[in-house]
């Protein structure tokens, strides 16, 4: 400016005022993004509204982390590659601007990892760097271990997509039931809950992603309270999914039960009635029954069709099943027995079941639940077909909505055929196969660990040298005569129909024509749910077992070979070799045991631990053998 009067002209720098971050800042943001991608888990029940009005999914970080610990880990990674560390102020500014949808586990409905909580408490109470460092290393090791379990699932998912003729990868999980209860209004009114405790009809959604097999996703809907949520429901849902995968056509727009209007059970028939759905959506709307009939394929073909049917498609020989780490629903004797029986019947040659670590179980199927939740969040869902339509429209691949009308009594079906089982809550993976005509399983404690025991263990009892397995199919669980929470559901539906009736009284109005079928719909549903008429026949109407037969199942004609471990030869060795051998054997025995409690291996004899002063023993001289002598231990010499 001082030289301006002299006529000196400066060149234009070309800067338009755009703020350009330094290279070190860009690097720090990239490291933070990568770290959050590895640690965060999607939460299907939570949404975050940003300043521009858009909604994004909330991601939850492990409870053992805080913002400060994440910043320290980011700087540690940057320092390891020789970069410039990010300052505290810049880190928090970036977090506020770009990471608002990342939260930390607090009190909530989802179970938290015990290890994460313990490590967080230790770090909160410890401020000395030398003492914090081992805790941080333990936390990093724990996070690497849980991420390795996820990578196992990602690898199997990619394998199934690359070789669908050999592998099928299936993930199975349940969604928060409150998001799919019907009827549901976008603007919930207080009057619907007047008159005491009221609630809509509880409908649960069980999602499955079928990697490597069309249609890619199933959503099983069921009315809560008609059957208990136990292994029977899990097994029935898995069996239905496998049967449908045999017959569903190779198209992503199959509508499942959305085009069905009748059922053998009056309650389900009234729930599937589409008159209210068609009236509320409108003939000129984006969704109606004609649309689905044109793009869908009608009802799902029955699993009882002949294997020679042109629609039949054989399942691949290997099933890789990913499930939630819940002992109540999934990780129990009956679900494991179902997986074993799939191998026994030759449906699959190998079934591998994997579980994520407790507190780290949210995966891509939860992203599907999030899409369903977002699809129905600001809409009136007044009937079951309307809910099915929203589920179908929630994803590009169009999840297939199916109403489960029967649940198999699988626990009674296998009662008396299974051996007791203990220790199965510890392993994170099970593999079922046939070895020498014996149905066995092996388990894996760590991702990089072996499948043990090498010869395998059987879940099934033996009678006269043969393994006994139930024949035929399980029977259907009987429906209760009325819904157990009828006293809460009935007032809610009554309040809804009364509101619609008083609001749209004019029979010539568009609102009356739109909501009159809704009133009739819920009146009929309420009548049928008050007195549920179940079928007298206990036989499953749609069958149970898939029709695929790989030809590798259990053959009861011959006596099978016992799956036992090779014993160790009893040889006389010097004291050092004996001590080393017994110690190795004892370490093997101390590992988590999975199997029949009666077959639990006994702890190995360790001389230096089990021989104490005052005990008696038999003494043998190794260099000059002589008859053993009995004597009391007077004292022990240190070695």
Cα 398 to chain center, whole Å?
A: 20
pLDDT tens string 473-482:
999 988 877 7
Q: Which residue has the tokens 């029967």?
A: 406
pLDDT over threshold 70, residue 562: no
Instruction: Determine the Cα–Cα distance for residues 348 and 216; give it in Å rounded to an integer.
Output: 19
Confidence of residue 195 (pLDDT cuts 50, 70, 90): low
Looking at residue 418, its pLDDT comes to 92
Paired residues of 432 in beta bridges? 351, 441
User: Which of 5-14, 40-49, 542-551 is the least confident region?
Assistant: 5-14
Instruction: Determine the Cα–Cα distance for residues 330 and 210; give it in Å rounded to an integer.
Output: 18
pLDDT tens string 327-380:
888 889 999 999 999 999 999 999 999 988 777 767 778 778 878 888 888 888
User: Which of 112-121, 299-308, 350-359, 512-521 is the least confident region?
Assistant: 299-308
As a whole number of Å, the end-to-end CA separation of the chain is 89
Question: Quick check: helix, strand or coil at residue 119?
Answer: helix
Instruction: Determine the Cα–Cα distance for residues 372 and 393; give it in Å rounded to an integer.
Output: 9
Confidence of residue 578 (pLDDT cuts 50, 70, 90): very low
Looking at residue 282, its pLDDT comes to 57
Average pLDDT, the chain: 78
Cβ proximity of 636 and 613 under 8 Å: yes
Helix (H) or strand (E) holding 121: helix 114-125
Using alpha carbons only, what angle is made at residue 124 by residues 123 and 129, rounded to the nearest 5 degrees?
A: 50
> How many other CB atoms are there within 10 angstroms of residue 24's CB atom?
14
pLDDT tens string 599-608:
666 665 566 5
pLDDT over threshold 60, residue 221: yes
pLDDT over threshold 90, residue 170: yes
Question: Quick check: helix, strand or coil at residue 616?
Answer: strand
Mean pLDDT of 237-242: 94
pLDDT over threshold 50, residue 464: yes
> Residue 460 gets which letter from DSSP?
B
Cβ proximity of 188 and 146 under 8 Å: no
Q: Which residue has the tokens 């509508």?
A: 255
pLDDT over threshold 50, residue 567: no
Q: What is the pTM of this model?
A: 0.74
pLDDT over threshold 60, residue 248: yes
Phi-psi region of 9 (alpha: psi -120 to 50; beta: other; left: phi over 0): beta
Looking at residue 579, its pLDDT comes to 47
Greatest C-alpha distance within the chain: 120
Mean pLDDT of 523-538: 80
pLDDT tens string 222-236:
998 888 888 999 999
Cβ proximity of 451 and 443 under 8 Å: yes
Give me the phi and psi of 105, to 5 degrees please. Answer: -60, 125
Cα 447 to chain center, whole Å?
A: 18
Share of the chain above pLDDT 90, in %: 19
Q: Which of 178, 171, 243 is nearest to 205 (CA)?
A: 178
Neighbouring residues of 277: CB distance < 8 A, sequence distance ≥ 6: 289, 383, 385, 386, 389
């Amino acid at each position: 400016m001082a030289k301006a009067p002299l006529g000196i002209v400066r060149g234009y720098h070309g800067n338009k005022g755009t703020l350009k971050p330094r290279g070190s800042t860009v690097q720090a943001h990239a490291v933070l993004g990568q770290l959050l991608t590895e640690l965060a888990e999607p939460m299907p029940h939570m949404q975050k509204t940003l300043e521009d009005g858009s909604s994004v999914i909330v991601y939850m970080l492990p409870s053992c982390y805080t913002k400060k610990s994440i910043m320290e880990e980011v700087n540690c990674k940057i320092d390891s590659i020789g970069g410039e560390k990010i300052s505290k102020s810049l880190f928090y500014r970036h977090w506020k601007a770009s990471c608002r949808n990342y939260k930390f586990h607090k009190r909530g409905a989802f179970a938290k990892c015990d290890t994460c909580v313990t490590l967080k408490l230790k770090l909160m109470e410890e401020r000395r760097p030398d003492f914090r460092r081992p805790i941080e290393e333990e936390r990093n090791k724990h996070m690497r271990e849980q991420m390795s379990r996820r990578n196992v699932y990602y690898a199997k998912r990619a394998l199934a997509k690359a070789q669908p003729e050999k592998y099928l990868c299936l993930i199975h999980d349940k969604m928060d039931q409150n998001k799919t209860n019907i009827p549901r209004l976008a603007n919930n009114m207080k009057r619907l809950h007047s008159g005491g405790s009221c609630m809509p009809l509880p409908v649960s959604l069980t999602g499955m992603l079928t990697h490597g097999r069309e249609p890619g996703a199933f959503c099983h809907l069921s009315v809560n309270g008609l059957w208990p949520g136990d292994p029977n429901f899990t097994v029935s849902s898995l069996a239905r999914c496998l049967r449908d995968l045999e017959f569903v056509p190779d198209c992503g727009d199959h509508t499942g039960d959305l085009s069905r209007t009748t059922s053998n059970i009056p309650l389900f028939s009234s729930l599937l009635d589409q008159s209210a759905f068609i009236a509320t959506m409108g003939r000129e709307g984006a969704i109606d029954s004609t649309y689905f009939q044109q793009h869908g394929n009608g009802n799902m073909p029955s699993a009882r069709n002949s294997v020679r049917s042109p629609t039949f498609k054989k399942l691949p020989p290997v099933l890789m099943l990913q499930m939630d780490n819940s002992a109540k629903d999934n990780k129990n004797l009956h679900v494991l027995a179902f997986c074993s029986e799939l191998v026994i019947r030759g449906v699959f040659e190998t079934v591998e079941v994997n579980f994520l670590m407790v507190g780290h179980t949210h995966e891509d199927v939860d992203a599907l639940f999030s899409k369903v939740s977002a699809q129905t969040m600001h809409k009136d869902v007044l009937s079951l077909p309307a809910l099915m339509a929203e589920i179908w429209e929630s994803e590009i691949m169009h999840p297939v909505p199916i109403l489960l009308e029967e649940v198999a009594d699988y626990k009674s079906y296998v009662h008396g055929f299974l051996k007791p089982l203990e220790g199965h809550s510890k392993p994170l993976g099970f593999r079922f196969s046939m070895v020498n005509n014996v149905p066995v399983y092996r388990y894996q404690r760590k991702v990089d660990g072996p499948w043990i025991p090498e010869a395998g263990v059987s879940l099934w009892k033996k009678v006269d040298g043969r393994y006994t397995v139930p024949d035929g199919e399980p029977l259907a669980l009987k429906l209760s005569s009325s819904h157990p929470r009828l006293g809460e559901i009935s007032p809610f539906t009554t309040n809804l129909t009364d509101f619609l009736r008083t609001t749209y009284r004019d029979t010539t109005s568009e609102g009356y024509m739109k909501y009159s079928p809704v009133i009739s719909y819920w009146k009929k549903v309420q009548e049928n749910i008050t007195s549920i008429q179940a079928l007298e026949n206990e036989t499953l109407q749609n069958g149970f077992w898939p029709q695929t037969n790989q030809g590798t199942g259990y053959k009861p004609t011959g006596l099978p070979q016992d799956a036992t471990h090779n014993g160790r030869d009893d040889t006389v060795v010097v004291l050092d070799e004996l001590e080393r051998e017994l110690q190795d054997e004892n370490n093997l025995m101390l590992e988590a045991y999975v199997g029949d409690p009666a077959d639990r291996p006994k702890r190995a004899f360790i001389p230096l631990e089990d021989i104490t002063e005052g005990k008696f023993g038999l003494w043998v001289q190794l260099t000059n053998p002589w008859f053993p002598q009995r004597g009391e231990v007077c004292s022990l010499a240190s070695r």
